[in-house]
Amino acid sequence: MWATARRMASTTRSASSAALTFELVGKCSTTRARASILTLPHGQVNLPIFMPVATQASLKGLTPEQLEATGCRLCLNNTYHLGLKPGQEVLDAVGGAHKFQGWNHNLLTDSGGPMLLTPEHSMSLQNSIGSDIMMQLDDVLVTTHPDKARMREAMERSVRWLDRCIAAHKYPERQNLFCIIQGGLDLEMRRECCREMVARDTPGIAIGGLSGGEAKDDFCKVVATCTEQLPELKPRYVMGIGYPEDLVVSVALGADMFDCVWPTRTARFGNAITKHGVLNMKREMYAADFGPIEEGCGCQCCRPVGQEGSLGITRAFIHHNAAKETVAAHLLTLHNVWYQLDLMRQAREAIIADQFPAFVKKFFVGLYPDGQSYPSWAVNALRGVGIELLGR
């Protein structure tokens, strides 16, 4: 099993690069969980964090002001989509994606998508977008790919492409290029890739290639293996994960940043994320339920009527509109984004207070009140960093 951290940070520690400062403000004395402040060109971001995905320069159904009101200070754009439309010429003319979409906070762009790209082209597009964090172009395979030789080829190609991305990056003084660790489920290959990528000294480091259908036990082993190898004073980003259980366990394993389209996509199917699991608001049981989406939630939908910014939305209203009106999708998106961000805010507060194990246990009790149906992958992963879920 991976080593367990046993101390809190006695003093704040920080490290800086040209366009990023990473300040470690707290560590769990049991697990690997960390709390930190990431300062980027468009302001501070408290870590750990979940980053909503605004694929085509907008979070579907939300205005920039509504997204800002959730507390979001870092969200994602997609290089591939923005490269196609509005296109690089328009982005250059307007002065980048921040101005194009009216977003005054930080942006992260992934490296590309299903289009022909070179590292140089990917960097050029991301330079035009003007994102605060830009991702290297990497060779991504699903983790369950059976050809080990092809997996090694992809890992080694990703290292070579990072070198080309670094050389092609035009604005390192105002945009941060993150590397991406590859290697599938082969832990030794992941360690090798970590060593190569860390040697390039990028401002931050991502763990890529997960959420590709692998078993959750394998997912956790990869995250734990990589975080064990990575520098303490750099942000660690696990790409493409968004289920609440995945976020909480990954924080315990030492990761800081996460993204996924799932919270916003599931909202469009009428689903609300809550501390007791996902609620399908299309179910008839909510037709005459005049309570909030989630009691005690601080989002604009759920705040009690009379509180500042409250929309006074009921489950019955969401149910009434969920089948055919877009307003329900918009409101559930607002709620789900708030939930994800607030979950990470709570985790951060627990880490700073050195109460993170208690937070984790309370979180899992909320989802599995009988205590008997905890997912084995979560039990195993948390046991590896000192939290015994079954020993309440």
Distance from C-alpha of 62 to C-alpha of 64, rounded to nearest angstrom = 7
Distance from C-alpha of 76 to C-alpha of 17, rounded to nearest angstrom = 21
- Say whether 259 is catalytic: yes
Which residue is catalytic, options 246, 259, 289, 354?
A: 259
Q: Which long-range contacts (CB under 8 A, 24 or more apart) does 144-150 make?
A: 144/185, 144/212, 144/213, 144/214, 145/184, 148/184, 148/186
Residue type, 350: A
Distance from C-alpha of 126 to C-alpha of 248, rounded to nearest angstrom = 30
Which residue is catalytic, options 110, 132, 138, 256?
A: 110
Q: Biggest alpha carbon distance in the chain?
A: 62
Centre a 10 Å sphere on the Cβ of residue 81 and count the other Cβ atoms it contains.
Answer: 15
- Say whether 110 is catalytic: yes
Residues that are catalytic: 110, 259
